[in-house]
Structure 1
Amino acid sequence: MTPARLLRDVLRRHPRRLAEIAGWSVLETAPAFLVGFAVARAIDDGFAAGRPATGLAWLALLGVAWAAAAVGARQVVLAVAGIAEPLRDELLAHVVTGALRRASGAFQAPTEAGSAAVARANLQVELARDAFAAVVTIVRGFAFTLLSVTLGMLTLLPQVALLVLPPFVAGLTLFLISLPALARRQRAFLLADERTAEELAGLAGGLRDIAAGGAQDLVAARAEGRVEEQSAAARALARVTSARTAALAVGGWLPVVLVLAGTPWLLANGAAAGVIVGALAYVTQSLAPALNGLVEGVAVSGVRLAVSLDRILRSAPPAVPVAADEPDGHAVELRAATFAYGPHAEPVVDRLDLLIPEGDHLAVVGPSGAGKSTLTALIAGMLRPDAGAVLVGGVRAHLAARPARVLIPQEAYVFRGPLLENLTYLADADRAQVERAVAELGAEALVTRVGGYDAEVDPGALPAGQRQLIALVRAYLSPARLVILDEATCHLDPAAEERAELAFAARGGTLVVVAHRLSSALRARRVLLMDGGRTWLGTHAELVRAAPPYADLVGHWEPEYA
């Protein structure tokens, strides 16, 4: 799907919102229609005629129009948001789809889907949403302002329109002709700016390694190249921006010159002094600002929108399947698995050997930064080991068919839509199965609070604990026989956490839990302690006796073990 088609489809799906925008825009641009006429009448029929009360009445009417326009502007913003937010949700669906496909070995050319890449994609979604709202607001405002001013000038004196509209249309045409080149230059500058920022951010994060490796000159030369690239893009943009300046001069200020130069002709055609001032008010207070807003907004927000949409739509690779391997069971085995975040970084998981047999219930504990979440990502196939192997059912984790396992992270994903669709996202379950799963996990109160299974879920309105409950029910209903909970119950109270873990343990299959509380380790059959590159594996009682770091960790949880 192209960006243009996506935007067209989004607008077509919201005819009521578009009607609201049009209706409130009439109110918002009422001053654009009234400003010149009211000023002319206030001068000619009021102050110049010796009737100051009449002049003040016309100006008061203009003030009322401005007050009403403020109300209209607020409603326009709300109506535009009613279109922009669904666009944001649709784009997020593309981002999530792309992240899942890149993380899955079930699609061609898999790539790493790290949190940084997902964060950048989410940023692109926010930029696209904001740019879309800005473009809709600007183009709408320009169109209604032009219509209002045209009607106002024809009402004031038709000859005024003959002096104002031709140069205005010429300036607008000049801008539209230069827009493709301007868009290309603006896009090139934005991309060069982002590449420079990425280069400098990476440089700042690796200063220690750069100094240790003596690569200062090489890195400096590469950064200098990025800066020069951005500088060249800025110069090219500045050159083509002259066309934008010319468009503003022709469309925004040439009409002022023509009105002033054509004053004798206007006076000869029945215009009074107030009409001349009113005509200038139309140009300087409405037309010129509208053209300037269009030029600036489309040149910046329009290009940002096009760039962001292009990146987002390209982020979801085509679903062309390759031969995904079906695991033989759901046992997990790590053979000297090693992983580090970067070629020069210390390994987070270092030559780890681990066997998690089918049906096991393993709790993973350790201090923050010990590699617990990295381990779960390796088992889930979201990360690939730098050395060694991670197998699920005898198949490399990143190549294993996805229905074999499910990972619920600390920040659970919930999408905008019916609650039932959120719960059955990973399974083809009927209502009775869903209700049983909800009861097992103690999520009945959540269903009631949301408003039932058919109620629309607003992720932003749900507390983190309730989002986790939705994700837990979703995982419980899935066909996966390997369930990985990476602090997926940390926002629940201890009783709710216990109920969830016991439900998954009774469900069958293999359960791996990154423990948030000591109680999770006590409920598990075995415990894996990760601490500073070392690991210990055993039951809770065995580790208390044999692993001093575990006894110390338990002592922080329960003073009687200190």
Structure 2
Amino acid sequence: MNKPVLEFNKVTFNYRQNQDPILDRIDLHIQEGELVSIIGPSGSGKSTIFRLITGLEQPSEGDILVNGENSINRLGTVGYMPQQDLLMPWRTVLENAVLPLEIKGMKKEEAKVRVKELLEDFGLKGQENALPSNLSGGMRQRVSFLRTILSGSNILLLDEPFSALDAITRLSMQEWLIQQWIKWKKTILFITHDVDEALFLSDRIFVLQQKPITIIQEVTIPLGRPRTIRDISNPEIVSLKEQLIDQLRTKVSI
């Protein structure tokens, strides 16, 4: 059985003292090599969980373990890919991609050699000298994901990375992400508002209710791997999708 690489043990969090907690003594465990999605209404605490994992916030109570270690200083221990690609507009694809290696202290020329070896796998061969403004949305996200991979962490947090893409590009990026996940053998925690996306990508889905979150519902996806987008038309998956949508709908205040 794979070992847990990310654990929340009785974690409580609020942004200000004397304020109702957003998370209230929650437990969460993710195993090595899993791809887990988080879904929930806007404002339900999805991004708060990411901020706690990355170390940008600290729990009011409880423990957060990354790779078995309970450390207050978690900054830099996980790879993070935000919704916006945050590419530096004045840097080329190659110069953007080498940034995490430069931050680690690798010599610039050595970093460029390392990145050039990966460009073809990431669909970026021939684009190394292009500026972000000349790239499609899908290519920009590939650069962003390459940068996240080069952080060196075994845990990657992806915060709605495909939400700004058109439907066809988004589907292509989902299929591409699964290929990269299998190849790199990373553990991925993926925030999305798209139930189809969560069902297609995930081993498990964490469903967040409205605050305060006292328990995280876990849904195991009854699909094997490899899988294709057609698999989410399976009657069992369609039924599960309807259940999830109905459940999320009841939690949204209009």
Q: Is the 8 A contact 2:41 2:248 kept in 1?
A: no
Structure 2 CA distance for aligned equivalents of residues 376 and 543 of structure 1 = 27
What does residue 128 of structure 2 align with?
Answer: 453
Is 1:552 the counterpart of 2:246 in the alignment? yes
Q: Is the 8 A contact 1:391 1:397 kept in 2?
A: yes
Distance 1:410 1:375, change over 3 A: same
What amino acid sits opposite 1:453 in the alignment? E
Is 1:475 the counterpart of 2:148 in the alignment? yes
Is 1:527 the counterpart of 2:221 in the alignment? no
Paired residue secondary structure (1:473): helix
What does residue 539 of structure 1 align with?
Answer: 220
What amino acid sits opposite 1:391 in the alignment? L
Could you tell me how far 1:378 is from its partner in structure 2? Answer: 1.0
Could you tell me how far 1:351 is from its partner in structure 2? Answer: 1.6
What does residue 51 of structure 2 align with?
Answer: 377
Q: Is the 8 A contact 1:543 1:550 kept in 2?
A: no
Is 1:395 the counterpart of 2:72 in the alignment? no
What amino acid sits opposite 1:550 in the alignment? L
What amino acid sits opposite 1:524 in the alignment? S
Distance 1:516 1:548, change over 3 A: closer
Alignment gaps of 5+ in structure 2 = 223-235, 250-254
Could you tell me how far 1:433 is from its partner in structure 2? Answer: 4.7
What amino acid sits opposite 2:171 in the alignment? P
Structure 2 CA distance for aligned equivalents of residues 543 and 337 of structure 1 = 32
Q: Is the 8 A contact 1:437 1:476 kept in 2?
A: no
What does residue 340 of structure 1 align with?
Answer: 14
Q: Is the 8 A contact 2:78 2:154 kept in 1?
A: yes
Structure 2 CA distance for aligned equivalents of residues 351 and 546 of structure 1 = 27
Could you tell me how far 1:334 is from its partner in structure 2? Answer: 0.1
Structure 2 CA distance for aligned equivalents of residues 543 and 383 of structure 1 = 36
1:255-294 counterparts in 2 under 5 A? none
Is 1:495 the counterpart of 2:176 in the alignment? no
Distance 1:466 1:454, change over 3 A: closer
Distance 1:344 1:543, change over 3 A: farther
Structure 2 CA distance for aligned equivalents of residues 330 and 398 of structure 1 = 18
Q: Is the 8 A contact 1:335 1:390 kept in 2?
A: yes
What does residue 413 of structure 1 align with?
Answer: 86
Alignment gaps of 5+ in structure 1 = 1-328, 556-562
Distance 1:417 1:551, change over 3 A: closer
What does residue 228 of structure 2 align with?
Answer: none
What amino acid sits opposite 2:96 in the alignment? N
Structure 2 CA distance for aligned equivalents of residues 512 and 370 of structure 1 = 16
Matching residue within 110, 115, 118 for 1:437 = 118
- 1:314-340 Cα shifts (integer Å, max 9, x gaps): xxxxxxxxxxxxxxx870000111222
Distance 1:344 1:466, change over 3 A: farther
Structure 1 CA distance for aligned equivalents of residues 75 and 49 of structure 2 = 19
Structure 2 CA distance for aligned equivalents of residues 425 and 516 of structure 1 = 29
- Taking every aligned residue pair, what percent have the same amino acid on both sides? 25
Structure 2 CA distance for aligned equivalents of residues 375 and 524 of structure 1 = 18
Find the structure with the greater CA-based Rg: 1
Structure 2 CA distance for aligned equivalents of residues 338 and 464 of structure 1 = 37
Distance 1:443 1:458, change over 3 A: closer
Paired residue secondary structure (2:12): strand
Tell me the TM-score normalised to structure 1 length: 0.35
Q: Is the 8 A contact 2:83 2:163 kept in 1?
A: yes
Paired residue secondary structure (2:205): strand
Is 1:508 the counterpart of 2:182 in the alignment? no
Paired residue secondary structure (1:488): coil
Distance 1:414 1:397, change over 3 A: farther
- 1:505-547 Cα shifts (integer Å, max 9, x gaps): 4311311111243233332111111111242013134999899
Where relative contact order (Cα < 8 A, 6+ residues apart) is larger, the structure is 2
Structure 2 CA distance for aligned equivalents of residues 396 and 544 of structure 1 = 39
What does residue 88 of structure 1 align with?
Answer: none
Distance 1:458 1:432, change over 3 A: closer
- 1:449-474 Cα shifts (integer Å, max 9, x gaps): xxx4245x366x76655443321111
What amino acid sits opposite 1:514 in the alignment? I
Paired residue secondary structure (2:41): coil
Structure 2 CA distance for aligned equivalents of residues 468 and 504 of structure 1 = 15
1:69-468 counterparts in 2 under 5 A? 331-400=5-74, 402=76, 404-415=77-88, 416-427=90-101, 433-435=114-116, 437-444=118-125, 448=126, 452-455=127-130, 457=131, 465-468=138-141
Paired residue secondary structure (2:181): helix
Q: Going by fraction, where is helix more abundant, 1 or 2? A: 1
Could you tell me how far 1:549 is from its partner in structure 2? Answer: 6.1
Structure 2 CA distance for aligned equivalents of residues 389 and 475 of structure 1 = 25
RMSD: 3.4
